[in-house]
């Protein structure tokens, strides 16, 4: 069967489908294209923790769409301008870090939506097929196909979690196990204290009918997360995959190097 279209990512996410993705941190189109050809459902272009500028992101997004891969952008700042530029170049969704309040979640959603929101209009963009999609059709398609995802990664967010999850138009949350672990003074995202907080967040998301995503170590870890109700899983990154494979390749030739 043919793979679902990248345009259906937001719909599938909202429906609770099991989705698999990874981070892309290298400002090149090639890694994105390869990941799409391998069959990943989505990638998150990491503009927060990687040296990805808007020019590189434009090319990476083109590669994602060509490879039928949903390109989500973790914006460096959750400002309306940053959100608008990433959506106009064709992002399938936005991921905003450190959402600590319902107001921040609401502002993110408003910046990304036409209906009920404040997204600046332009259909002469990649998202609007360079003007070949009419006003009404463009607005409807973008509201339907754009995923708004809030990162819950701060201990402080736990006190207002229900308020955040109740924000209309919030499509999903991403549970940031790395930042939570760092805040707790842990050494790995498998820290039992982190796992307990993840469970608490996932249970709240389930109560509100909001899908949840997170990063996983391996398939066993993903199974534990799935058991908590999480439905979208990320593993590794393009840089991590390259380092792991390169390390294994180098080790395979160690005997020759020693001679």
Query: What's the rounded Cα separation, in Å, for the pair 110 and 257?
Result: 58
Helix (H, G, I), strand (E, B) or coil at 44: strand
Q: Which of 49, 98, 138, 208 is catalytic?
A: 49
* Category of 169 on φ-ψ map: left (φ > 0), alpha (ψ -120 to 50) or beta: left
126's tokens: 């990649």
Query: What's the rounded Cα separation, in Å, for the pair 202 and 207?
Result: 9
| Contacts for 103 with CB less than 8 Å, ≥ 6 apart | none
- C-alpha distances (whole Å) from 13 to each of 48, 176, 212, 259 are 22, 18, 9, 53
Sign of CA dihedral 246, 247, 252, 254: positive
Query: What's the rounded Cα separation, in Å, for the pair 80 and 138?
Result: 19
CB of 10 within 8 A of CB of 144?
A: yes
Helix (H, G, I), strand (E, B) or coil at 198: helix
Our answer to whether residue 98 is catalytic in this structure is no
Residues annotated as catalytic are: 49
């Amino acid at each position: 069967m043919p793979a679902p279209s990248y345009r259906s990512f937001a719909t599938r996410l909202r429906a609770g489908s099991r989705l698999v993705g990874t981070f892309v941190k290298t400002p090149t189109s090639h890694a994105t294209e390869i990941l799409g050809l391998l069959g990943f459902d989505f990638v998150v272009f990491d503009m927060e923790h990687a040296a990805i500028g808007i020019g590189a992101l434009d090319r990476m997004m083109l590669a994602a769409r060509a490879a039928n891969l949903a390109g989500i952008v973790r914006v460096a700042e959750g400002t309306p301008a940053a959100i608008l530029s990433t959506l106009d170049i064709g992002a399938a969704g936005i991921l905003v870090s450190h959402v600590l309040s319902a107001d921040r979640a609401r502002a993110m959603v408003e910046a990304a939506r036409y209906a009920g929101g404040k997204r600046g209009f332009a259909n002469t963009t990649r998202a609007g097929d360079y003007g070949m999609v009419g006003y009404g059709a463009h607005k409807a398609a973008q509201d339907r196909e754009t995923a708004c995802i809030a990162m819950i990664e701060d201990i402080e967010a736990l006190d207002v979690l229900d308020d955040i999850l109740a924000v209309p138009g919030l499509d999903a949350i991403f549970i940031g196990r790395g930042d939570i672990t760092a805040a707790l003074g842990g050494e790995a995202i498998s820290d039992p204290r982190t796992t307990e907080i993840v469970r608490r967040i996932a249970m709240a998301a389930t109560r509100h009918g909001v899908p949840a995503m997170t990063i996983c170590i391996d398939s066993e870890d993903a199974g534990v997360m799935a058991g908590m109700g999480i439905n979208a899983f990320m593993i590794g990154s393009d840089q991590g995959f390259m380092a792991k494979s390169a390390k294994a390749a180098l080790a395979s030739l160690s005997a020759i190097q020693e001679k």
